[in-house]
Amino acid sequence: MEKRFISCIPVTFGSGHKDLSSPYSQFKAKIKESLKGLDFSNFKKVNVSFSVYIVKDREKYGNDLDNFAKPIIDALNEARIIKNEWQIFSIYMKKVIVSDRSHEGIAIQIK
């Protein structure tokens, strides 16, 4: 699949993740909607690559790169884009600092 950019406010795994109106749930919903129709469930192995685009001032609030992986992978699983997380054999993550919040989002690619 080609790399897709999803314009959104990236959110890390944390409190309130079960509340459907929480930023965490909204972030996952945005991923699911943006990748709707993709189906890698029959693949034995998939590789996931994503870049998280955030503004620099978010670093002081504990927005560690690894904490963005959980909602992204959960969204792929919940949307049935992948059959289950066991299919994922590699994850490549990168943080990109952007100048303002209007450029925040994630770029994702599944192979």
What CATH code is carried by the domain that includes residue 45? 3.30.1330.70
Choice among 2-6, 50-54, 85-89, 104-108 with the minimum mean pLDDT: 2-6
Q: Is beta strand 4-7 parallel, antiparallel or unpaired with respect to 105-110?
A: antiparallel
User: Is residue 16 predicted with pLDDT exceeding 60?
Assistant: no
Count of domains observed in the chain: 1
Show the domain range for 89: 4-110
pLDDT in tens, 88-108: 999 999 999 999 999 999 999
**Percent of the chain with pLDDT strictly greater than 90:** 68
State the average pLDDT over residues 49-63. 85
Residue 42 burial (CB < 10 Å; 0-12/13-18/19+)?
exposed
d(CA 6, CA 56): 19
